[in-house]
Amino acid sequence: MSWLSDPKGDGQPKLGFTYRILRRFTRSLMSVWFRELDVVDNENMPHDGGVMFIAWHPSGLIDPILLHASLPGKLSILAKHTLFKIPIFGRLMRAGGGLPIYRASDSDDVEKSRMKNSEMLQDVGREIANGGRLLLFPEGKTHTDSKVSKAKTGAARIILIALREAELQNKPAPRIVPVGLHYSDSQKFRERGAVILERPMELPNIPQTVGDLEQQKELDIAWTKKVTESIEEELKRASLSKTSWEERRLIWQGRSVVYAERAIQSGSKITRPSFAESVIGARRLRAGWEYMSKHKPDEIAPLVEKSRLHFTELEAMGITPFDVAAKPQKPTMLGYLIALTAWIWSAAWMLGLVTWSAVLGNVPPYQANYLTMWHFKRKGIAESIYGTMKIATAVVMFPIWWIFASLSITVLFLATSSPLFILLNKHWLLAYFTQINPVLMFLILLVWWPISGKMHMNLYSRLVRSWRSLKRWKNWRQNELDWDSLQKRQREIGGMLIGLGDSLVLPGDPEWQEPKTGDDDFKHVTLR
């Protein structure tokens, strides 16, 4: 994972020591949480002026943590003020760039909240005008819906303030940059994610300043409403918003079939694309899907039904479209033995010092975290914050266990009354371990537990990949499955999807024209 470089220049806010430390922490946290993470399209980043980043909010605290780690420069993040009242956590949020927003629904004194919120919006607007960077979730809430929720007006109000302030100071106009957040499953550990920076929004000219306050208010409200509608549409486009999770899943599965079929037709080896490449492929398919659904529903309906039945059958068999596409014509015993050897080799590496250290240093808090989340799940915790609670409890449990384990082992090795101390001193070479400075041993162990855990995860990922390959080869050699029929049907679906795509001008094609701000991709799809 390579992170984006911070902008340089006199007009850029400087990153303080505490902010750098916290961002290093969030980057480490996200590199552990995700097994694959891509940040792409940094060419869309404005070179000057302030920036407001906007994104949808499907995954609780994971969304701001990921974007805090991914987005360059010093980032301010708006969050509801109640979060800042949490001991320690509130201080960390402020140090990491968090700014409290006072919502009337979160306070008994509605008028006071509105006044504080208005003051905060003015301050944030001025900060953006002076080159600051703000992250905002316009939906105003986290959720588990497959589509973007209705956007609030806060983002538009802030950018209006910022634009006016920048104009007064003769500074570059601030920009709004939509950010696409994409997860294979944000609530599960070691899944895949992608952060896609979209092109900056084109905003209408700000309302002229007039003398009449009521007239000015009406002009500002009309502008704010128009921009908010555009923001909502941009979020839908950036997040590949769909009406149901089933439709999203079908699009992603269809994308994998198209990818495999194009590889087969070109004679290339079928490999798994990166998650970012998968997102781009899903964007193309979604645009074509939406266009055909609106303009030629009779043509796409049979294809959708055939795809749905095929993917349902594969899920029931426990296999994937990739398993079907990548199956060799004659799966040999040699291929199976190679896969078995790779798995055994990976498993052998799991028996070393790294794994045993990782087991001792990380399995107890991992299991404690698992039991805690099981308890929360039984209590009916909201699905949208499940991953957030996992991370929050892990951040507490793991350091506590590392300190306890480090102290215990230090005492076990160095205390003169310890049976291990007595045993080690019976051998001239092992006796040197009992002469290590206690503080030094404690610090070495404290640092070693997370390092060994990270190394173990890399080994474990290799083991999982080799196991999946072995399982795939085992399935390929089974005569119970009618692979020929599965491949024929999948290639037929892939051919139909490719034919559909080739008949349209889609995102990524040379002839493609990016939609204007506020328009979804499918509105700019055309027939060839």
CA distance 225 to 294: 27
- The H-or-E segment that residue 224 falls in is helix 213-239
Determine the 3-state secondary structure of 20 from DSSP: helix
For residues 438-452, average pLDDT: 92
What tokens appear for 335 in the block? 């291929």
- pLDDT, tens only, 264-274: 998 888 888 88
Q: Domains in the chain, please, with CATH?
A: 17-239 (3.40.1130.10), 245-331+479-527 (no CATH), 335-476 (no CATH)
**Tell me, what's the pLDDT at 11?**
64
For residues 137-153, average pLDDT: 91
**Tell me, what's the pLDDT at 69?**
93
Q: With contact defined as beta carbons under 8 Å apart, do 133 and 75 qualify?
A: yes
pLDDT greater at residue 384 or residue 486? 486
- pLDDT, tens only, 166-218: 999 999 999 999 999 999 988 888 889 999 999 999 999 999 888 788 899 99
**Tell me, what's the pLDDT at 13?**
72
Packing angle of the helix pair 275-295, 483-502 (nearest 10 deg):
70
pLDDT exceeds cutoff 90 at 503: yes
pLDDT exceeds cutoff 60 at 105: no
For residues 130-154, average pLDDT: 91
CA distance 339 to 63: 37
**Tell me, what's the pLDDT at 234?**
95
**Tell me, what's the pLDDT at 213?**
85
Q: With contact defined as beta carbons under 8 Å apart, do 226 and 186 qualify?
A: no
Pairing of strands 191-197, 175-183: antiparallel
**Tell me, what's the pLDDT at 107?**
61
What tokens appear for 42 in the block? 């940094």
- pLDDT, tens only, 234-261: 999 999 998 788 888 899 999 999 999 9
**Tell me, what's the pLDDT at 104?**
59
Give the DSSP per-residue string, 502-517: HTEE-TTSTT--PPPT
pLDDT exceeds cutoff 70 at 106: no
Q: Is the dihedral of CA 85, 87, 91, 97 positive or negative?
A: negative
CA distance 24 to 50: 23
CA distance 406 to 412: 10
Pairing of strands 51-54, 175-183: parallel
CA distance 115 to 372: 40
**Tell me, what's the pLDDT at 108?**
64
- pLDDT, tens only, 206-229: 998 887 888 999 999 999 999 999
DSSP alpha helix (H) spans, 169-212: none
CA distance 109 to 98: 23
**Tell me, what's the pLDDT at 399?**
94
98: β partners: 77
**CA-to-CA separations, 248 to 193, 272, 380, 413, 526, in angstroms, rounded:** 15, 19, 25, 55, 22
pLDDT greater at residue 470 or residue 7? 470
- pLDDT, tens only, 354-401: 788 888 999 999 999 989 989 888 888 877 777 878 888 898 899 999
**Tell me, what's the pLDDT at 115?**
80
- Give the burial string for 328-338 (b: 16+ CB within 10 Å, else e): eeebeeebbee
DSSP alpha helix (H) spans, 267-352: 275-295, 297-317, 321-326, 333-349
Number of other CB atoms surrounding residue 181 within 10 Å = 23
- pLDDT, tens only, 309-332: 999 999 998 899 999 999 998 899
Q: With contact defined as beta carbons under 8 Å apart, do 213 and 225 qualify?
A: no
Task: Determine the length of the chain.
Answer: 528
Q: With contact defined as beta carbons under 8 Å apart, do 155 and 228 qualify?
A: yes
**Tell me, what's the pLDDT at 110?**
66
Calculate the average pLDDT of the chain. 88
Which of 340, 175, 337, 326 has its CA nearest to residue 261?
326
Which of 427, 405, 417, 305 has its CA nearest to residue 359?
405
For residues 512-520, average pLDDT: 91
**Tell me, what's the pLDDT at 89?**
67
